[in-house]
């Protein structure tokens, strides 16, 4: 049965969408200069209000640290603005003269922006800026636990936008918040696109609404410290990221994985920089208060400080403790603290080498963080590349904090508070979301070659690939292969091509040299098995453990 709040919330969603739609009809036709003036004004207003908004957010939600929320607000108001301010989002945004194509930007309409309680004001600032830059109207749906601070942020930005010339209604925010109202906002015919940040239930609701949606789920982020890493810096990056705003960012480190060769140094550095290693008994009590039976983080510990959480669990930690370090012993339902914890609780794992580290990180990602983020600390470029090629993560942060690297603060990634997880995590994109994701791009395309079917058929026939016909019998396989390679400037097969033909075959008299592959994953081996071909490997080929085992079983490797 619907409650009075549900009815109010549903009606408010409809009213605000109608108002936003009318405002968008005007805003969709403003010039680039007008858009840029409005976006700049909103950015400046949000920047000035950053500290006040941070205080209200912590006071209302009880999550995080005022100084860190202030920094998040500044990042959203200033860094995001600096990144997007030069983007062309009106009219012709790109010309491709060699292809005679013009690309034209059109706004999508009204954006339904769902805002979480963990990062409420910074996410609101970020989403409003990218919506306005792409000439869209936006209706915010706050998390009920952060309604007041999100409303205040929206009011600050709406006032600045209208004073700068934006139509009233281009920024709206729901005051009566309920699940029914949020669902109405996402499903309504006037909603064009959904920007959803929150738990998996919310993200699934966004994707099942029938509307285009950018939804991002949890990020069970592992940070791997390999033997060649700068241990002091690596540990500092992990602890700084994990303790930042008490671990409320979805890209904050959830597990530290290190090689056994450097375990002693890592443990000493963790303790020196404010990490407290919990005893097995303390770990068991933490499991009971930090993780719900549903294997989700308990809201009572989300965003709380390390000492506060320890006290709730019935033990004390030394002054200056930044992070509680636990050793779950494994990953999965039997190891509750291997989940995303959204607090300064860090799982700790030791592995034999980078091969085992690779598999451990994949297991952590598979348990609630598929497609999100991974950090690796290493000076070995081959191992870093192997991680980048093999891991189901959309952002692999190298020698930096995952927390700051994923959002584009300490890396060259697009500054963003909404981070796509790709098909790994059931998302439509693996990008950091920018204004360009909120545009329809039309393309003007001029003719580049006249249509002459007879001439095209003749050209294909001469190329010996006429549709429906077999290869010319007058030319041998050897001749056609040689011609193919010569046309591409190659004197040997490309990495991953088939092995030399068996002795006695027509082309075996002049075998084609084969180069060793630089890297082989399990997927490469499965593809080779399916296609009934061999994989050339050498002394310097990096082969993942699972690929090695499967390849040996099926005798898929040839040594070159």
Q: Are 26 and 210 in contact (CB under 8 A)?
A: no
75 secondary structure, DSSP code:
I
Per the residue annotation, which of 250, 251, 278, 421 is the catalytic one? 250
Residues 179, 79 share a domain: yes
Q: Are 73 and 84 in contact (CB under 8 A)?
A: no
Domain of residue 244, CATH code: 3.40.309.10
**Axis crossing angle, helix 200-207 with helix 179-187, rounded to the nearest 10:** 30
Residues 262, 191 share a domain: no
Per cent of the chain over pLDDT 70 is 90
Query: Rounded to two decimals, what is the model's pTM?
Result: 0.82
Residues 72, 155 share a domain: yes
Residue 529 lies in a domain: yes
**What are the distances in angstroms from CA 540 to CA 301, 536, 549?**
47, 11, 18
Burial class (CB in 10 A: 0-12, 13-18, 19+), 80: buried
**What are the distances in angstroms from CA 529 to CA 338, 341, 555?**
34, 40, 9
Residue 458 lies in a domain: no
Tokens of 194: 């959904």
- pLDDT mean across residues, the chain: 90
**What are the distances in angstroms from CA 240 to CA 250, 252, 323, 402?**
15, 9, 9, 10
In whole angstroms, what is the distance from residue 198 CA to residue 340 CA? 13
Residues 212, 242 share a domain: no
pLDDT, tens digit, for every residue of 51-69? 999 999 999 999 999 999 9
Residues 203, 68 share a domain: yes
Residues 321, 246 share a domain: yes
Residue 202 lies in a domain: yes
pLDDT for the residue 493: 42
Residues 242, 198 share a domain: no
pLDDT for the residue 205: 86
Q: Are 366 and 219 in contact (CB under 8 A)?
A: no
Tokens of 210: 């029938």
What's the domain count of the chain?
Answer: 3
Indicate the pLDDT class of residue 496, thresholds 50, 70 and 90: very low
Q: What is the CA radius of gyration of the chain?
A: 28
Residue 83 lies in a domain: yes
In whole angstroms, what is the distance from residue 196 CA to residue 190 CA? 17
Residues 191, 48 share a domain: yes
Strand pairing of 439-445 and 101-107?
antiparallel
Helix (H) or strand (E) holding 543: strand 542-543
Residue 479 lies in a domain: no
User: Which is nearest to 179 in space by CA: 8, 426, 420, 62?
Assistant: 8
Q: What residues form DSSP beta bridges with 519?
A: 542
Residues 357, 246 share a domain: yes
pLDDT for the residue 497: 41
Residues 525, 503 share a domain: yes
Q: Are 219 and 396 in contact (CB under 8 A)?
A: no
Q: What residues form DSSP beta bridges with 139?
A: 112, 172
Catalytic: 250?
Answer: yes
In whole angstroms, what is the distance from residue 318 CA to residue 315 CA? 10
pLDDT for the residue 479: 55
Residues 399, 325 share a domain: yes
Q: DSSP string spanning 460-505?
A: HHHTT--TT-PPPTTS-HHHHHHHHHHHTT-SSPPTTPPPPPPTTS
In whole angstroms, what is the distance from residue 478 CA to residue 411 CA? 49
Does the pLDDT at position 276 exceed 70?
yes
pLDDT, tens digit, for every residue of 310-369? 999 999 999 999 999 999 999 999 999 999 999 999 999 999 999 999 999 999 999 999
Q: Output phi, psi for 395, to 5 deg.
A: -130, 120
Q: DSSP string spanning 283-344?
A: HHHHHHHHB-TTSSB-TTTTT--HHHHHHHTT----TT--EEEE--SSSBTTBGGGS--SSS
Domain of residue 212, CATH code: 3.40.605.10
Indicate the pLDDT class of residue 464, thresholds 50, 70 and 90: low
> Domain range spanning residue 387?
221-409
Q: What residues form DSSP beta bridges with 140?
A: 113, 173
Q: DSSP string spanning 348-382?
A: EEEESSHHHHHHHHHHHHHTTTTEEEEEEE-S-HH
Helix (H) or strand (E) holding 385: helix 381-390
Does the pLDDT at position 465 exceed 80?
no
Residues 102, 154 share a domain: yes
pLDDT for the residue 114: 96
Does the pLDDT at position 524 exceed 50?
yes
User: How remote is the C-alpha of 346 from its chain's centroid?
Assistant: 21
Residue 125 lies in a domain: yes
Tokens of 80: 């995001």
Residue 22 lies in a domain: yes
Residue 461 lies in a domain: no
pLDDT for the residue 480: 52
pLDDT, tens digit, for every residue of 352-411? 999 999 999 999 999 999 999 999 999 999 999 999 998 999 999 999 999 999 999 999
In whole angstroms, what is the distance from residue 557 CA to residue 560 CA? 10
472-498 average pLDDT score: 47
Which of the two residues, 391 and 491, has the higher pLDDT score? 391
């Amino acid at each position: 049965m619907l409650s009075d709040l549900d009815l109010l919330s549903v009606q408010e969603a409809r009213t605000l969408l109608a108002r936003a739609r009318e405002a968008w009809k005007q805003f969709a036709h403003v010039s680039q200069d007008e858009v840029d003036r409005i976006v700049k004004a909103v950015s400046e207003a949000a920047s000035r209000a950053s500290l006040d908004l941070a205080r209200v957010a912590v006071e209302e939600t009880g999550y995080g640290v005022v100084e860190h929320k202030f920094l998040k607000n500044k990042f959203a108001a200033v860094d995001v603005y600096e990144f997007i301010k030069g983007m062309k989002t009106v009219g012709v945004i790109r010309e491709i003269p060699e292809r005679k194509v013009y690309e034209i930007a059109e706004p999508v309409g009204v954006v339904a922006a769902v805002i979480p309680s963990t990062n409420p004001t910074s996410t609101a600032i970020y989403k409003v800026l990218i919506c306005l830059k792409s000439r869209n109207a936006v209706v915010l749906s706050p998390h009920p636990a952060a309604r007041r601070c999100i409303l205040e942020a929206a009011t600050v930005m709406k006032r600045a936008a209208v004073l700068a010339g934006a139509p009233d209604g281009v920024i709206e925010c729901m005051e009566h918040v309920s699940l029914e109202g949020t669902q109405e906002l996402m499903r309504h015919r006037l909603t064009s696109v959904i920007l959803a940040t929150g738990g998996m239930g919310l993200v699934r609701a966004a994707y099942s609404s029938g509307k285009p949606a950018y939804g991002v789920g949890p990020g069970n982020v592992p940070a791997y410290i390999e033997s060649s890493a700068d241990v002091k810096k690596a540990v500092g990056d992990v602890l700084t990221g994990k303790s930042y705003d008490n671990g409320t960012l979805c890209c904050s480190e959830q597990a530290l994985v290190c090689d056994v060769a450097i375990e002693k140094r890592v443990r000493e550095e963790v303790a020196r920089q404010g990490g407290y290693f919990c005893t097995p008994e303390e770990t068991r009590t933490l499991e009971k208060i930090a993780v719900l039976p549903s294997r989700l983080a308990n809201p009572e510990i989300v965003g709380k400080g390390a000492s506060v959480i320890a006290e709730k669990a019935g033990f004390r930690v030394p002054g200056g403790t930044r992070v509680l370090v636990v050793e779950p012993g494994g990953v999965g339902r039997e190891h509750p603290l291997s989940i995303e914890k959204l607090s300064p609780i860090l799982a700790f794992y030791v592995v034999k080498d980078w091969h085992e580290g690779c598999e451990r990180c994949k297991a952590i990602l598979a348990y609630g963080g598929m497609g999100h983020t991974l950090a690796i600390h290493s000076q070995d470029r081959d191992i870093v590349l192997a991680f980048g090629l093999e891991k189901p993560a959309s952002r692999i942060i190298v020698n930096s904090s995952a927390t700051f690297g994923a959002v584009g603060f300490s890396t060259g990634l697009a500054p963003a508070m909404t981070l796509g997880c790709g098909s790994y995590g059931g998302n439509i994109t693996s990008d950091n979301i920018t204004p360009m994701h909120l545009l329809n791009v039309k393309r003007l395309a001029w003719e580049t070659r006249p249509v002459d079917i007879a001439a095209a058929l003749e050209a294909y026939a001469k190329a010996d690939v006429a549709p429906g016909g077999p290869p010319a019998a007058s030319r041998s396989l050897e001749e056609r292969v040689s011609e193919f390679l010569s046309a591409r400037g190659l004197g040997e097969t490309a990495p991953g091509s088939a092995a030399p033909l068996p002795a006695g075959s027509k082309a075996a008299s002049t075998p084609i040299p084969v180069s060793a592959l630089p890297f082989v994953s399990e997927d490469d081996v499965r593809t080779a098995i399916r296609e009934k071909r061999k994989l050339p490997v050498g002394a310097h080929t990096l082969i993942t453990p699972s690929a090695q085992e499967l390849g040996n079983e099926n005798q898929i490797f040839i040594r070159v």
